[in-house]
């Protein structure tokens, strides 16, 4: 991919394989190139739908690529170029932040660079404020608090890539407070059944939808995808899908969960009246139910018993077998309702014990159930795991197509 024309750089989250998979499914493998915890795209940053991305922390516009990763060379380049870029900008205060990924330098060196740039700009009469670095990279909260994606401010990204340095400007940054607001403020939550993070729900949806929007000929942009979550729980996947403009169908075996979902979706619409996506939520057993027409399936399925610590081996096998049986019945049931090529992304349980991860046995015979287990070019199947280090039960994301 030496002729890859990178136009944007996405800084990925703590489990970058998930972010890579998401970008590949939405934009195509040929438009994405992995880069040390980040992704290069030949898509302009302005054309990336950042609000729907759960696995990308920052989306940036590439300004230049330097043929060196030596800090002194990068320092001298910026000292010369940044004041020249700032000069034609509208009058007013200019705020500068710098984040470094991969280059051999220190926060103190970055602060010296910031002050040197400030000194170079000062003779123009423009007021300049620099954001001090305690770490090599500014976090999302710092970028948002200092308005570094607004007019009159920059976050410059310096990213080492194969002995080169990419210089980029951040256009979008993940708003943790916004995620928290629509998660913590929901009226109906239940910690006992586990809480699916909205960011992970976005990733699951994006892996399920893929390029479905480009393939359909339905004119109505808002409702041309109808997404099904057969294990909807408290409705996090449905919520995020509605925010993307999709019509949704949700079912759950537990009436209490269906009631929670309805409350949460009503609350979401009350908070964001611009949402007019259709929602159909019912009590149903995913192992036997016949759903109305849907475009794709995105769901965190039954994860088995919640585990605060590793149980005895025989107990763990019992938990794994129970989950495998339920999910296998669901896949058998829905297989007859799918058209060839229709896609599912499911978060399945996987168990982390003594440094090893055990997946569901059914993944070994998906072909017999009527599915193709999709490979991605930039993210290996075994890396599509979402977990915290203290968790026994991880979520394994699998992308399936009806064969």
The pLDDT of residue 268 is 94
What structural domains and CATH numbers belong to the chain?
A: 8-174 (3.30.2130.30), 184-402 (3.40.50.150)
Separation between Cα atoms, residue 302 and residue 37, nearest integer Å:
30
| Average pLDDT score, the chain | 94
Q: Is 246's pLDDT higher than 50?
A: yes
Confidence of residue 214 (pLDDT cuts 50, 70, 90): low
Mean pLDDT to the nearest integer, 82-87: 89
Q: Is 128's pLDDT higher than 60?
A: yes
Least confident of 2-6, 200-204, 250-254: 2-6
Confidence of residue 194 (pLDDT cuts 50, 70, 90): low
Separation between Cα atoms, residue 209 and residue 279, nearest integer Å:
17
The pLDDT of residue 213 is 64
The pLDDT of residue 1 is 42
Mean pLDDT to the nearest integer, 191-203: 86
The pLDDT of residue 224 is 73
The pLDDT of residue 217 is 45
Q: Is 160's pLDDT higher than 90?
A: yes
């Amino acid at each position: 991919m030496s002729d890859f024309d990178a136009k944007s750089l996405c800084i990925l989250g703590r489990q970058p394989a998930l972010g890579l998979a998401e970008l590949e499914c939405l934009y195509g493998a040929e438009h994405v190139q992995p880069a040390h915890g980040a992704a290069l795209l030949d898509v302009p940053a302005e054309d990336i739908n950042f609000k729907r991305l759960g696995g990308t922390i920052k989306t940036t516009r590439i300004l230049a690529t330097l043929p060196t990763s030596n800090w002194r060379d990068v320092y001298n380049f910026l000292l010369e170029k940044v004041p020249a870029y700032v000069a034609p900008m509208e009058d007013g205060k200019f705020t500068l932040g710098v984040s470094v990924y991969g280059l051999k330098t220190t926060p103190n060196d970055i602060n010296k660079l910031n002050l040197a740039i400030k000194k170079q700009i000062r003779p123009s009469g423009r007021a300049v404020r620099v954001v001090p670095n305690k770490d090599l990279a500014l976090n999302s909260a710092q970028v948002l608090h200092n308005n570094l994606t607004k007019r009159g401010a920059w976050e410059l990204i310096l990213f080492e890539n194969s002995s080169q340095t990419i210089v980029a400007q951040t256009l979008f940054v993940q708003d943790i407070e916004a995620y928290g607001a629509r998660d913590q403020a929901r009226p109906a939550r239940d910690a006992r059944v586990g809480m699916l993070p909205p960011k992970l729900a976005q990733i699951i949806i994006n892996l399920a939808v893929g390029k479905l929007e480009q393939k359909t000929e339905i004119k109505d942009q808002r409702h041309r995808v109808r997404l099904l979550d057969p294990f909807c729980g408290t409705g996090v996947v449905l919520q995020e899908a509605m925010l993307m403009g999709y019509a949704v169908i949700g079912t759950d075996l537990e009436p209490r969960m269906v009631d929670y979902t309805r409350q949460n979706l009503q609350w979401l619409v009350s908070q964001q009246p611009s949402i007019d996506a259709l929602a159909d939520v019912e009590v149903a057993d995913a192992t036997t139910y016949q759903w109305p027409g849907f475009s794709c399936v995105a769901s965190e399925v039954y994860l088995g018993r919640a585990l605060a610590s590793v149980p005895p081996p025989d107990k763990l096998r019992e938990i794994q077998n129970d989950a495998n049986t339920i999910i296998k019945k669901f896949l058998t049931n829905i297989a007859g309702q799918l058209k060839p090529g229709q896609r599912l992304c499911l978060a399945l349980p996987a168990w982390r014990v003594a440094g090893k991860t055990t997946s569901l046995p059914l993944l070994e015979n998906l072909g017999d159930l009527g599915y193709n287990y999709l490979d991605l070019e930039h993210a290996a199947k075994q890396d599509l795991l979402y977990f915290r280090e203290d968790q026994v039960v991880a979520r394994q994301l699998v992308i399936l197509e009806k064969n």
